[in-house]
Amino acid sequence: MKLKNLALATVLLGGVLLSATTLDAHEGNIHKKQSKRTKQNKYAGWYMRTRVSAVTADGTVYEHNTAGVFGELVDSKKRKDRHDISAFGPATLQVVFPHYDWGEDESGDYWSDYRKYNKFRAKEREVWTFQIKNQKDVNLANADIKIALDDAKILHYNKKNGNIEYVETGVDTEMKNRFTLVDVDNNETYSIDELENAGLTMEGKHTRTFRWVKGKVKSKDYKPLELPE
């Protein structure tokens, strides 16, 4: 006990640097925490992350680091569930899934949008609507934006004390090729390969609306998002 206190005090008195909280450290911890797949693991679904960056005229790059996550999980629902994470506060730049169709209590923007995984419907068409929002501090209305999609992370799960614990067990490098980006504001579509040179901008706006479409794009995918007055 004394040794531990002494060690603690040594670190403390040596000065605790308030250094940057790095997302690399966060990701590293995920892997540390979720690296084991056992024979008991069962397939649990997948997720992907939408990466968005905005570049201003002076070359400054803005990114939001944890939002834009979507996928399918065995314990999720089509409507709001515990894996749909609410957006928190305004941001210079963030990627949100707008769900003003989830009733008064759950209506709002979300940083993740998970749906129920069903292996019998795994190849069916799905659509996720997302928005890029610039809400404070820096005006990004004239910024160039780049949208990218990370490879799908494959998930298995364990049951522990009645809880489902998800484990990342691999990467599906092909899945994202089944997605098309729909620029709802401009009635344009882009394949994954076209995104790098799509030349997208915020077009003088503080909110831009897009859809990820898995499978065939239909005319209704171009319809503007209906938001409350």
Partner 1 sequence: MTAYQWRLVSVPCDTGSNGVEALLKGSLGEYGEPEDGGHWVMYKQSGSDNYETNSSHPNTDKSKLDENSTLVQGISYWIITDADHNVTIDETLSDISPTTTQDANSTGVNITDPDFTKVAIMQLPNNIMNVAGDAKKYMAGNPFPYSFHVGNLYFKHYTANSNTYYPMGDTNNNDYIRSVVYTHDSTDTGPVTGYTAIDPSTPGFGGSIQPMEGFFIKLLEENTDNGINSFAFPLIMSNQP
Least distance (Å) between residue 187 CB and partner 1: 29
Q: What is the DSSP-derived secondary structure letter of residue 111?
A: S
Closer to partner 1 by CB, 122 or 164: give it: 164
Element (H, E) at 183: strand 179-183
Q: Which amino acid is at 208?
A: R
* Residues numbered 113-152 forming contacts with partner 1, rule: CB under 8 A: 114, 137-138
Q: Is 171 in the site for partner 1 (CB under 8 A)?
A: no
Residue 179 near residue 216, CB atoms below 8 Å: no
Which of 17, 38, 193, 226 is in the footprint of partner 1 by CB under 8 A? Answer: 17
For partner 1, give the closer residue by CB, 167 or 225.
Answer: 167
Q: Are 206 and 140 in contact (CB under 8 A)?
A: yes
The dihedral through the CA atoms of 28, 33, 38, 43 has a sign that is negative
Nearest Cα neighbor of 87 from 67, 57, 117 is 67
Q: Which of 98, 99, 109, 111 is the binder for partner 1 (CB under 8 A)?
A: 111
User: From the CB of 111, what's the least distance to partner 1, in Å?
Assistant: 6
Q: Which residue has the tokens 């995918």?
A: 221
Q: Which is nearer to partner 1, 4 or 39 (CB)?
A: 4
State in angstroms the smallest separation of the CB of 103 from partner 1: 11
Rounded least distance, CB 118 to partner 1, Å: 17
User: Which distant-in-sequence residues (6+ apart) come within 8 Å of 38 by Cβ?
Assistant: 158
Q: Please pick, from the candidates 42, 61, 107, 191, the single residue that binds partner 1 as defined by CB under 8 A.
A: 61
Q: Please report whether residue 208 would count as binding partner 1 according to CB under 8 A.
A: no
- Say which DSSP state 30 is in: H
What is the rounded (10 degree) CA torsion for 79, 87, 136, 225?
-10
Nearer to partner 1, 92 or 207 (CB): 92
> Of residues 163, 173, 197, 219, which one binds partner 1 by CB under 8 A?
163
* Cα 138 from Cα 198, distance rounded (Å): 24
Does residue 175 belong to the site contacting partner 1 (CB under 8 A)?
no
Q: How far is CA 12 from CA 4, 19, 27, 54, 166, in A?
A: 12, 14, 26, 39, 35
- 199 binds partner 1, rule: CB under 8 A: no
Measured from the CB atom, the residue of 22 and 186 that comes closer to partner 1 is 22
- 64 makes contact with partner 1 (CB under 8 A): yes
Judged by CB under 8 A, does residue 161 bind partner 1? yes
Residues forming a β-bridge with 171: 153
CB of 114 to partner 1, least distance (A): 8
